[in-house]
Amino acid sequence: MLNPSIHRLDLGGFRVTSILAGRFSLDGGAMYGVVPRPLWSRATPPDDRHRIPMTCNCLLVEADSGERVLFDAGIGQRFDERGRDLFAVDGNTSLTGSLRLAGTAPEQITHVLFSHLHFDHCAGALVSDSGRLRPTFPDAIHLVQDGEIEDSMRGHSIMKSSYVSEDIEFLRASTRFEGIDGNQELLPGLSVETTGGHTAHHQAIWLHGGDQSLVYPADLLPTRQHLRPYWIMAYDMFPHDTLTTKGLFTRRILDAQCIIAWDHDPGSPFSRLSETNEGVVAIDVETA
């Protein structure tokens, strides 16, 4: 029997498991941008420091053909005391621990596919071993858009701390690290699609298995609250692109009755979308 914290779906030739790679908190105003606090605080009550709870939900995709692909690597555990306090990082949850609960060792991961290279999506790809850095997934190919690599090295972001260039340099030097040029099918049934918005080269990941599809939109739609058109993160480099693209994505997800996998929503990690008189809402998907 699966651990109750493990959520798993069978999708044609893929077995998809949501991997809880960390819990943390961010300022609610930053997460919801121009939305007034009286509105967003009703949807997501903040703590006494105005922060709202977040998760790092990575995806483990096990293909019938043998590949084990990890979507994003989470926030990691390499925080000093100030950082741990600032982001309310939960030290009891880890990427590798959750992978082991799901029956997978780090050495079994064949590919790590990043949506983008902000620290809360890639820091978990490195661990500190007695003060020395080493790759979490030494045998995996690490993949992200070419342009995202360039922007990460230049610190091209709203917040200087979003990219940790030293980590990215180390990861590039110590692993098989490859760039992707635009929209591509990387494996049969697994493809990436650039979205822009959050970063210039942010990408969503699509899975098509059997008669079902799943999308991991990452920070284009980080939580179900962001289904509302104008609830856009202040962290987004190109908010108007986010507004346009997430509307198109939402329509496609609805039309295809596709499953959506949330990267930062602390609720159920998998949903389907439904149109109501109040707008588009997320309906939780039952998992094994």
- Is 139 domain-assigned? yes
**Do 248 and 204 form a contact (C-beta atoms < 8 A)?**
no
Q: Determine the average pLDDT of the residues in 110-115.
A: 99
Q: Which CATH number do you get for residue 130?
A: 3.60.15.10
CA-CA distance, 148 to 125, in Å (whole number)? 16
Pairing label, strands 279-284, 270-276: antiparallel
pLDDT, tens digit, 9 for 90 and up, residues 154-184: 877 777 789 999 999 999 999 999 999 999 9
- Is 92 domain-assigned? yes
- Is 253 domain-assigned? yes
- Is 34 domain-assigned? yes
Q: With bands split at pLDDT 50, 70 and 90, how would you rate the model's confidence at 89?
A: very high
Which pair of tokens denotes residue 74? 């989470």
- Is 1 domain-assigned? no
CA-CA distance, 62 to 15, in Å (whole number)? 5
Q: Which of 14, 136, 16, 120 is nearest to 72 (CA)?
A: 120
Domain count along the chain: 1
- Is 125 domain-assigned? yes
- Is 157 domain-assigned? yes
- Is 272 domain-assigned? yes
Domain around 191: 7-284
Full-model pTM? 0.96
**Do 50 and 20 form a contact (C-beta atoms < 8 A)?**
no
Q: What is the DSSP string of 150-208?
A: HHHHHT-SSSGGG--HHHHHHHHHHSEEEEE-SSEEEETTEEEEE--SSSTT-EEEEEE
pLDDT, tens digit, 9 for 90 and up, residues 238-270: 999 999 999 999 999 999 999 999 999 999 999
